[in-house]
Structure 1
Amino acid sequence: TVYAIIFSVSMVGTFLRSQWIVQAGPRCSQVLFSEMMERVQHAPMHYFETTPLGRILNRFTYDMETVDITLTEAMSMLLTSVGWMSAGIAVQIAILPWQILSIFFIFYVYWSLVLHSRKSAVDLQRLDAVSRSPVQAKLSECIEGAPTIRAFHRSHYFARTFRDTLDENTTAMMNFMAAQRWLAVRIQLVGATGVFTSVCIVVSFNEQLRLPAGLAAMLIIWSSNMTISLGFMVQAISESEAAITSVERLSAMATIPQERTPIVGTTPDPGWPTSGALTFHNVTMRYREGLPLALTGLSFSLRSGQRCGIVGRTGAGKSSIALALFRLVEIEPTGSITLDNTDLATLSLSDLRGRANGLCIIPQDPILFAGTLRDCLDPFGEKEDAEVYEALRAVRIGNAGERNMVE
């Protein structure tokens, strides 16, 4: 009966622990990733101009991997060690009640070590994670600027700066690992001391205690197991607390500023815009707070069907007009941009851009996304094959009549 109860409790505990790890861990990661992706996709342009690309990539790669794997494994080890440790304490007290004094002493020493270690462990883990962002940023910069770097014969310079950045990350990582080893060595020493104490008590006072050989052996075995479990628990607490810094950084992504959208917006007709009459009235725009104005009191009108070319020196505001038109950068409230007598500031961003018959732009720098050519030409799958072929013929790209051109 006793073994049946122990077996049943063990099965229930293992099942609950496995369900928590298998379901709660991935669900937490999914929620964090979805929220972070949503915030980044709707962040204004100045966020990407002021935030290094390596930092964003680090959040989506290293920090997500830490939450998905490292934190889940550490929490699993923590639950397992707590179960084993609780069982070990119960068995030892049942065999030898005086063993509770040794257990209290071991707990006190272990907890003192944890409190001393956590003063630096979290910050060292944070330094390790933060120092990874410059590595990814440097790598992406070198790959994208490889032609320019070679043209100016600066390959050795950039290779040296990349190695320096990599050394900084390695230094932070080694300091964190050294702190973990420092704690592990002391935990093992304290654990060995606890086992040695149990053995000394059994050997020295067995005549007074009158413990059978089987119970004495069980006391020593469970003393050793509890020490091992307590070591795993302390290590799991330290690793979990260090991995929580990734959750902290992922949660901070929820504070990313978002593109402005009207609280009560105007819903345009499905066919809007119909004529394409465009009016800029006293448009003033700056890219972000604290920067000088890029557009100052700009006013002009374009009739339906009229073509307009904007000419100016670098920095005159040519690109700024397009950014203001698509609301990639918001204008000051003193001005307005109207299209077919509809103020663009009153529309939601989904109605202004990214929908059929909406505003479209041909970017200055062409981009081919992963996938087929057809996916790049018609990413939303709204056009027929004949229309895709016609677009290819219009720009004279190969034999547009062949299906393998778009598949």
Structure 2
Amino acid sequence: MTSAPRLRIAIVGGGIGGLCLAVALSKHADIQIDLYEAAGQFSEIGAGVMFWARTWKIFEQLGLADDLAKVAGAPVDEALSIGLDFRRSDAPTPGSRFAVFRSPYGCIRFHRAHFLDVLVDHLPKGVAHFGKRLASYSETAEGVELAFTDGSSASFDVLIGCDGIKSTIRKQMYEEEASKGKPHLLQHVDPIWSGTMTYRSLIPAERLQEVAGHKHRVMDDAIVYCGKSKHVVSYGIGKGANIVNLVAIFSDPKDEGKPFEGPWVVDCSPDDVRKAFQGWEPEVQQLLTCVDKATLWSLHFLRPLPFYVTSRVALLGDAAHAMLPHQGAGAGQAIEDAYILANILGDPSVTPATISHALKAYEDVRLPFANARVEDSRVNGLLYQFNSEHEDRLETLGPTLENRWNWLWETSLEEEVQQALGILGAKLQPTTWEMSKL
């Protein structure tokens, strides 16, 4: 950058959302980007991550698609194919399909570490700063001051909080607003336990083939094995689907919102996983036989937030709308945030003087859409586990599930970008009074 930047943007948090935003903003030569990550390097906890066609279009726009296709768990093909295949599986006899969701590209899946590596490879040098944990920020008329736990500080025009479900930035934002006579906002500071726990494990594909004696169904498609208050999701990840991602989930809806004590992630015995799903269909038993290492996670989410932004600060990804994994939408929604926000901030009309209008345009488009996905994901978990009004009546449950992804094509990302830019333009139009003085 040879001249003074039009905008100086701080991104706090180097997960999928923060990295995608940095990559998208790097397309604009007149924007200075600094990404702060508390850890010593970029890393992702977890195993598999899935995306739908809507998100793949963003990867194409950002020039990531070719590199991502090389590390996908299956060939990326625009043809209509299975996204999720649902089976009733909570009996020792072979289960059966009761619903199937199909979409263009089907279910596009990755090992999280491989996915993150592609984003990092597209990040310009000098943007990332490691070992920088944010302690607090302060907004002024001129900008935002960041204070880090190592005693250092930095000044920017705008701060984007990509710091996850336990976001420091969301906490400060909502506590400050609550102190202005709005104590009800404090309910949005901390995540809620969903009453759901999940076992996670990675299985070598070769081992699964040996146990099954043939190519297991999960090597080709993402399968959801359903039962009362439990379900299992499994699919191949890694290049050539050489690894199988296994997620085995159990719930008690009455526990939703109760305090959760202890760490959110702990190591557990593989026998715990097998015992929890004892008596399920043979396909599930084949998967569980291959588990030799597992972790137990408590699943939390955020109550839908009433706002994502203040004048110079915005929340993005899990900091704004952490959701349950039951719609395969969490990472995709973070990437949608990043894409739309980068398009808004990239508009030449956005300067330090107009930044509040830009952030409000982002919020106007993203908040209702992403908050709807938070609730959709929660409801999907009830449907999968026969805890909705349909219970286990498969003749009505199946069609209901198949229609739970209609939001993927009700709008396009480009339409939403244009909507946001239109909102921004309207906010920047001179008022009638200003025009009368010209």
| TM-score between both structures, scaled by the size of structure 2 | 0.21
Q: Select the structure that is richer in helix.
A: 1
Q: Select the structure that is richer in strand.
A: 2
Structure whose CA Rg is larger: 1
